Amino acid sequence: MTTRMHGHWDLKGFFVFSTSFLAIHLLAPTILAGLACTFFLALVGAGTAFGQSQPQGLAPSVTTPKSDTAGPGFGQNAPRGIRAGHILVRFKDSPGQDTLNQLHADYGANVVGTIPEVRVTHLQVAGSGLALLDHLRKRPDVAFAEFDSIVQVLQNAYNPPNDVYFSSTYGSSHYGSIDQWGPPTVSAPAAWQYVSGGSSSIVIAIVDTGVDDTHPDLAPKIVGEYSYVGSIKDGFGHGTHVAGIAAAATDNHIGIAGMCPNCGILSVKVLNDQGSGYISDVASGIVYAASHGARVISLSLGGSGRTETLHSALDYALANNALPVCAMGNSGSSLNTPEPAYWHDCLSVIATDRTGAKASFSNYGIKADIAAPGVAILSTMPTYPVTLTSTYGYSMNYDALSGTSMATPMVSGIAGLVLSQNPNLTPTQVAGIIEASSGDGVSWAPNLAFGVVDASKAVLSATNSDSAPPGTNLISPTEAATVSGLVTFQAAPTDDTVVHHVDFVQNGTRFMQVLTGASSTSGSGKKAVTLAAWTGSWPSTTVFNGLITLSLFAVDVFGNASAAQSLDLTVQNKLVTQSGTAYVCWPSSSTCENVTPWFPVTTGVATEAAPHLHGTVSYGGLNNTKYADFWLQVLSYNADGSGQEYFCGTDQTTVDCYPPLLLEPDGSKTLSNYSGGQIDLISPNKNPASGNATINWTLTYPQ
């Protein structure tokens, strides 16, 4: 690792070696893949989902079957997106050396890193690591264990300031002549008047590919630099672009204006020169930023995992007075929210175009909070050749990029302005103020969430004296109710000012659309459904039958949140089951593959449904085999042709899992959902393993 600090920043005592792989796609759009625990989620992108600035080399890696007989998309190795043999584990108590020695003796596990602030240990073993993972997940002294997973960049008194490209055009490499249209769109110039361009005591961390510390629009702003992936230098270009949007030097007669002109920049490099890295490094970078004075952490990156390691790092940031601002992703989907934006700890950002509409590439949906400009955003680029300039044809010094990666630092800069106006605000209050000052200030919609941000309104709301939390007052459903089908939620929240919304969270992520004080209509014509204020509906088939526990809380217009109210519900819907069986071989050949065909779900899916996969494998004729890994998977297509795959694996003979994706309703003439399986044999030496197996499985879902 490399470290360089400026001014008062002190790095003593913080050194973490970790190797989880994380990648950031700077350009719109991006599709990410990752594996959480013994499970793996892969996103399948429709061909029309990509913005015009998508680099050719950053095309989605997940392929979809051409028919229901095509093989699953993970070939003769472990599924894409996991770092084979790398396990992140949190023990309930600090593990003794005898525990670690026994893991080494039994599984060959070595400790290769730790994230002590969130009590995560990074273990490495030979092979896929499924045997170790299964063992750890069964131990009573383990809080969680999961694979490391991939993350990628998500790049798809000033009146006005005198920066050259703020009001005059610049000849960009991919978008023609453009000006810096983003800040005026979100009322940044008015906000700068109120708060004199922000405060240098407010630091925004750019957790990314590094920042060019020689750039004339950035050099005077950088208060510290740290790297988890070699040189501090930005070799890709994404982090430099993001940093400029958030806080470039402003009113200095050159270049562009940053959203928070006076805020400091802390560069934490967690992605390599190809825009990729590991979850363990990203989590470490978040912890580092929060531990070293950052009040805002800008995260223009994402991965398909659902890792407790990253969730814990975000929790740590909030507990240490830092607000994570996260990109929603660029696959044009309402379902495929990458982490960290997946987690409720984040203020999650949709990208918009010049008209104020959702950018075609931007993800959207219930995990989103607000929207900000993200198409053809002009900002700083490294002053030397990097991957984006040398490989993808972007310009040095300044250029325009598109993506939720660009919308995110715009919101990070606004958060910096709000904190400059009132540094005593908590991260939750800052997020609530930005949400309540966005859009019309009342409603929420899937395409834009609470709406496009307004820096001026947010800064004006920062000086309020109200700190009293509102009351939730949920009317229905009642505690311990049994529900099925479409469930109506209704509340009557109270406050001494104005309640902005009521939120529902389960397992750290938003559970359903928020309730607001505005009525809403979905559908059209005879299918139109209108819901009254503070009323929402939830399809209960989106969770599997059983007991669920929700946390709900009200948030007022000044970001004050009520204490979480717990709600227990029992979900009981009719279950539908389909079975499959297949014979597979290792190594794979044209006559007997190691993967099954895709089996279409012919039992019918009428409403979105949560799946349950259960299956067994019977091996025959295993030769020279040290590990035998067994995987089941489910694939579901969205109406737009995009989709998502989920993999469940074990080194034992039984898989039993509940994939965190939804089966999508079948089309009028097409089937949308598929399931299948695969084996992977690993030899103990250089000679190949061989064998065969019969896989039997069932896919069960509620309707």
Helices 427-436, 308-319: axis angle to 10 degrees equals 90
Cis status, amide bond into 340, omega within 30 of 0: yes
Q: Which two tokens stand for residue 229?
A: 């992936």
CB atoms within 10 A of CB 360: 19
Backbone angles phi, psi at 57, to 5 degrees: -80, -5
d(CA 87, CA 91): 12
Mode of pairing for the β-strands spanning 398-401 and 377-380: antiparallel
Please report, for residues 26, 237, 391, the alpha-carbon distance to residue 233 in angstroms, rounded to integers and kept in the order given: 17, 10, 17
The token duo for 152 is 């990628």
CA–CA dist 537, 477 (Å, integer): 11
CB-CB contact of 141 with 93 (8 Å): yes
Q: Is the peptide bond before 587 cis (omega within 30 degrees of 0)?
A: yes
Taking the C-alpha atoms of residue 401 and residue 156, their distance in angstroms, rounded to an integer, is: 7
As given in the structure block, the two tokens for residue 662 are 């939804």
**CB burial class (10 A; 0-12, 13-18, 19+) of residue 505?**
middle
Across 194-340, the runs of DSSP E, i.e. the strands, are: 203-208, 222-227, 264-269, 276-278, 296-299, 301-302, 323-327
- Partner residues linked to 88 by β-bridges: 122, 146
SS3 474: strand
Distance of alpha carbon 306 from alpha carbon 37, whole angstroms: 8
- Which DSSP category does 131 fall into? H
Residue indicated by tokens 């099925």: 484
DSSP letter for 495, please: -
Helix and strand counts by DSSP (H, E) for the chain: 12, 39
Catalytic residues: 208, 238, 405
- Whether the bond between 493 and the residue before it is cis, its omega within 30 degrees of 0, is no
Under 8 Å between Cβ of 377 and 156: no
- Residue 447 token pair: 């395409």
The encoded tokens of residue 699 equal: 């896919």
